[in-house]
């Protein structure tokens, strides 16, 4: 395992192969269910200004726009922004896709909601992560809401085998295409480390991803420091977080 938490966003992981393998479980139906959960947790009645921070190819942003919200999607990956735009056009919805680095977000009091969905936070050192929360706070109007969706560290730790590693495989095209994750946690730095083997189109390559794992109380402390009031800590089903929740969802209000 290599530790790669640094200044550099792990952009090599987020590419066409990522979308290819992830669409096996992020199907249109799943994306719709997740969008419904987002809307329910944020109580999104009427029309709101929503920032989808690190929106990927727009699977949630476009669906929120279809529900009548004014959505801005920021992602640093040009391919994902392009795909988001073309899916928006096909669905006849409008999303303002901005191909930008979230670490430079400078919007002020422009949004009712900042959404950070599906592990889109924590890729940097703690100081940078906290700075991003501060930028989210600045981008929100007073009373605006932040929804963070991150892995549940309690579950992740339990999934590690005796060697301190978990292995996950996703196959497509029969046995031909493979995404194989070797997942570990550096306990000293609380860093989730993924070594990902991708076998596809005749190539066999390995990419690395690292992400700071935060417990709910660590996140809560950082949210307080950045002038958020924590409203709820939930599991992936939108009910109370528990040891088997795959995700932790933190809802906070700009104060
Ligand atoms: C795990 S994906 C989640 C995407 C999306 N939120 C979803 O629900 O599918 C994380 C996203 O963060 C984006 N990303 C990584 N570093 C970034 C940065 N510095 N600025 C903006 N986006 C970034 C990647 O391009 C990728 O689309």
Domain residue extents for the chain: 16-151+214-254, 155-209
How far are the Cα atoms of 14, 19, 63, 77, 100 from residue 81, in angstroms, in the given order? 12, 13, 15, 6, 10
**Using a 6 Å CB cutoff, which residues line ligand 1?**
9, 14, 54-56, 59-60, 74-77, 80, 101-103, 117-120, 123
Give the pLDDT confidence of 136-185 residue by residue, as tens digits: 999 999 999 999 999 999 999 999 998 999 999 999 988 899 999 999 99
pTM above 0.85, yes or no: yes
Distance of CA 80 from the midpoint of ligand 1 (Å): 9
Burial class (CB in 10 A: 0-12, 13-18, 19+), 227: middle
Give the pLDDT confidence of 126-144 residue by residue, as tens digits: 999 999 999 999 999 999 9
Strands laid side by side in the 191-200 sheet? 165-172, 177-186, 191-200, 203-212
Give the pLDDT confidence of 214-239 residue by residue, as tens digits: 999 999 999 999 999 999 999 999 99
Long-range contacts (CB closer than 8 Å, 24 or more residues apart) made by 198-203? 198/17, 198/21, 200/17, 200/20, 200/176
Query: CA 29, CA 34: separation in Å to the nearest integer?
Result: 9
Mutation pick for ligand 1 pocket among 20, 35, 38, 56 (CB with most ligand atoms within 8 Å): 56
For the chain, the straight-line distance linking the first and the last C-alpha, in angstroms and rounded, comes to 40
Mutation pick for ligand 1 pocket among 32, 54, 95, 148 (CB with most ligand atoms within 8 Å): 54
CATH architecture of 16-151+214-254: 3-Layer(aba) Sandwich (3.40)
Distance of CA 54 from the midpoint of ligand 1 (Å): 4
């Amino acid at each position: 395992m290599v530790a790669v938490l640094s200044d550099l966003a792990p952009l090599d992981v987020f590419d066409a192969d990522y979308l290819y393998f992830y669409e096996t479980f992020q199907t249109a139906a799943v994306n719709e269910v997740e969008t419904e959960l987002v809307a329910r947790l944020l109580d999104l009645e009427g029309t709101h200004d929503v920032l989808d921070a690190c929106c990927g190819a727009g699977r949630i942003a476009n669906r929120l726009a279809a529900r009548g919200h004014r959505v801005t999607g920021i992602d640093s990956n040009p391919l994902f922004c392009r795909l988001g735009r073309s899916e928006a056009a096909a669905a006849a919805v409008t999303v303002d896709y901005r191909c930008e680095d979230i670490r430079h977000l400078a919007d002020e009091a422009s949004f009712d909601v900042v959404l950070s969905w599906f592990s889109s936070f924590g890729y940097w050192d703690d100081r940078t992560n906290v700075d991003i929360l501060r930028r989210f706070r600045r981008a929100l109007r007073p009373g605006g809401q932040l929804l963070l969706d991150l892995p549940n560290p309690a579950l992740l730790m339990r999934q590690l085998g005796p060697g301190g590693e978990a292995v996950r495989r996703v196959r497509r095209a029969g046995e031909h295409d493979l995404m194989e994750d070797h997942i570990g946690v550096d306990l000293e730095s609380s860093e989730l480390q993924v070594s990902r083997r991708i076998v596809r189109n005749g190539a066999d390559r390995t990419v690395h991803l690292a992400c700071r794992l935060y417990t709910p109380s660590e996140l809560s402390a950082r949210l307080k420091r950045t002038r958020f009031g924590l409203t709820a800590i939930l599991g992936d089903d939108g009910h109370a977080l528990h040891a088997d929740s795959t995700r932790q969802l933190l809802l906070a209000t700009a104060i």
